[in-house]
Homo-oligomer: A and B are copies of this chain.
């Protein structure tokens, strides 16, 4: 993989000076066009120490309008980062559409370094790399252009370069002890990097290996790659425009798993009060244990309009201290959210250790309302199932407890509640004509919900379907389920 990056590519000063001004102009031109494009450009910078990564990034900063360019370097994680899944620190700095983000050190650094230092085995590395492939695929599927540069130097070249930097007092600071430490591990690093690059050179996001020895060569090469790849991506912009699904959900067989729920289940007022007190007390004790262990809890509530999600959530939160939880209602995204991958707005709200975050509607909107209304294309919502499972798996592996509730009522009960809302003054604001119109799509949504439950119900993040024609029954079910799950997992 690195052979062709050790043959001593060079560019003469004359050639460089002939090419550079043209490259600059063209880069500025594509960047202008990019500003209005519907995708971000993510440039990853990795490779051997001393191969000119920093200089090249500085040069890109000189070439490109810094107004639409941001560089992020990743040192050791902050406590806010450590308390969340590893990917969180990357999600928080991904560039929005129309911009270029350079990531200096990236999701590759930790897996490669851990393997080089023997903290992990090849199988661990491979799992990390598979994850990376899934992550990059999700970004690319969403439109992102990912350009991955690996700066390479042969062992001899690296040694020579480090020595040269050391000689000059002006540049000596660039060489750290860590650089020499890495150098001693050069052969191992090379072998493992090669494995990593091979596994993650996907069709969507291939690696570009850059010979780092000659500054002029590597600068022009990197510049040309960026120019070429952005230009090509811009050219396909039109054809990639999201296609609205031509075959929206059709309820062929409207009998679903949800229909197997016994909606007749109910509780007397007396039992309800008794059980609520019992389970809220239990929940309180259990969530405080989880808090002390630093374990976060994420609750997802989905379900029909007027199914009673709000009332259920309040029965959960009233057992918690207001300091410890956050209810995140999911409505229309802000423009910052719209300019990122659809999962970005949820990553934003991932709780720190020991907190409870309750999503009133969630990322499942992608496979429910966005599917139902044609806001997401069939390809988009189809791949969302895997993206979501992947997302939840990362949370789970960070020892976050995830519970997903589908709050279920039947169409008659919904109608009854809509009418009641119209009559109750302080609930009146909750109901619009739109709500009544949506009822026509009941069967389609039921099918979508059913498919969602089937495709995203996992051992680590199961769906709980809650019969909610009787509000009291549903509330107890949810609080009780949460208690059971907490107890089992502590």
Contacts and interface: CB of A to CB of B under 8 A. Distances in A.
**How often does this chain occur in the complex, in copies?**
2
B170 A323 contact: no
A322 B58 contact: yes
A336 B323 CA distance: 24
Interface in A303-354: 310, 313-314, 317-318, 321-324, 326-327, 329, 331, 334-336, 352
Interface stretch (A59-67, A409-417, A476-484): A59-67
A149 to B, nearest CB: 13
Interface stretch (A72-80, A193-201, A215-223, A376-384): A72-80
Which of A66, A79, A336 gathers most chain B CB within 10 Å? A66
Contacts of A54: 321-323
A101 to B, nearest CB: 12
B322 A73 contact: yes
A173 B284 contact: yes
25 contacts: A21-B426, A28-B426, A29-B429, A32-B429, A54-B321, A54-B322, A61-B314, A61-B317, A65-B310, A66-B313, A66-B327, A67-B331, A70-B327, A71-B323, A73-B322, A78-B78, A79-B79, A80-B80, A104-B323, A170-B281, A173-B284, A173-B288, A174-B321, A334-B335, A335-B336
B322 A71 contact: yes
Given A75-B323, A170-B281, A173-B288, 13 more contacts: A29-B429, A32-B429, A61-B322, A61-B327, A66-B329, A68-B329, A73-B323, A78-B352, A79-B79, A79-B80, A102-B322, A173-B285, A334-B336
A46 to B, nearest CB: 13
A425 interface: yes
Main secondary structure of the interface of A (DSSP, over half): helix
Contact of A71 (B24, B318, B326): B326
Nearest to A71: B322
Contact of A73 (B68, B285, B324): B324
Contact of A317 (B58, B73, B80, B284): B58
A360 B78 contact: no
A25 interface: yes
A25 B426 contact: yes
Contacts of A314: 61-62, 66
A57 interface: yes
Contacts of A429: 28-29, 32
Contact of A322 (B25, B57, B284, B334): B57
A73 B173 CA distance: 43
Smallest CB-CB A-B distances: 5 pairs:
A73-B323, A25-B426, A67-B329, A57-B322, A66-B327
